[in-house]
Amino acid sequence: MIEVIVFDLGGVIVNVNFNSALGMLFDNSGKLNAALPNYSSISNLMQEYETGMLSAPDFHERLVDHLGLDLSFDDFITSSNEAIESGEDGIESIVRSLGEEYRLAILSNTNPVHFGHIKKKYAVIGLFEHIILSYEIGVMKPAVLAYEKLIAATSKSPQKHLFIDDRIENINAAKEIGIDGIHYNSVDNLRRELEKRNIKLKE
């Protein structure tokens, strides 16, 4: 029987627009028409940042050096937070409804700047009893250790969790250790998947 429902942040509760953030970084540094790099060019830096190996100031310093930007730390924060957009209409009401019957948790690959912004802007975050973030635990999904940290935090067996994430590799990793998962791609699909599991919503 499910007792804990676990949500990812980016791609589920909120959306993260990487290209928007990069565009703001370049615009705020005065490079208005520069060709934007793809994510893979900074993926190693992002991994260090989102596992807590780099602080926000250290990441800013390494990032602007790597991209050749003249950008203050304050402008970096502003540009970074431009990436955060509201999730699909209806997702917050689903979270609120589930919170009436189940314990809620977050398991997310993220960084301190993004999470600080999300926590301030989206009151729904206050409904979550357990918040497990990659930069705090030092590991990212789909590593097994991330799910083990979740289980340790909730003190419930894997079978008592339901995990909702937009990346199939994260769902598959959860299932390997006994956590049921829903691959999120829309609010309507999430409602259908919850109904299949006899999880009722009071919206």
Mean pLDDT of the chain: 92
Average pLDDT estimate for 108-118: 97
Give the CA radius of gyration of the chain: 18
Q: What is the pTM of this model?
A: 0.92
pLDDT category of residue 42 using cuts at 50, 70 and 90: confident
Kindly provide the residue ranges of all beta strands, DSSP E only, lying in the chain, ordered along the sequence: 4-7, 14-16, 84-86, 103-108, 130-133, 161-165, 180-183
Give me the numbers of helices (H) and strands (E) for the chain, helices first please: 10, 7
Q: Which CATH number is 4-15+87-196's, of 3.40.1050.10, 3.30.465.10, 3.40.50.2300, 3.40.50.1000?
A: 3.40.50.1000
Given a cut of 70, is residue 29 above it in pLDDT?
no
% residues pLDDT > 70 (the chain): 90
Q: Are 28 and 79 in contact (CB under 8 A)?
A: yes
Closest by CA position to 7, among listed 200, 196, 155, 183: 183
156-192: per-residue pLDDT in tens?
A: 999 999 999 999 999 999 999 999 999 999 999 999 9
Instruction: Report how far residue 71's alpha carbon sits from residue 143's, in angstroms, rounded to the nearest whole number.
Output: 33
> Which region holds residue 54: left if phi is over 0, alpha if psi is between -120 and 50, else beta?
beta
Give span(s): CATH 1.10.150, the chain: 18-82
The confidence band for 79, taking pLDDT boundaries of 50, 70 and 90, is confident
pLDDT reported for residue 119: 97
**Which part of the chain has CATH 3.40.50.1000?**
4-15+87-196
- Across the range 104-120, mean pLDDT stands at 97
How confident is the model at residue 32, as a pLDDT?
46
Contact yes or no for 83/121 (Cβ under 8 A): no
User: What's the pLDDT at 66?
Assistant: 85
What is the separation, in whole angstroms, between the first and last Cα of the chain?
22
Residue 80 half-sphere exposure, CB side, CA atoms within 13 Å?
A: 24
Q: What tokens does 87 get?
A: 């999730």
pLDDT in the model for residue 39? 57
Per CATH, is 18-82 categorized as 1.10.150? yes
* Averaged pLDDT for residues 19-38: 62
Beta strand segments in 11-165, E? 14-16, 84-86, 103-108, 130-133, 161-165
- CA 49/CA 163 separation, integer angstroms: 24
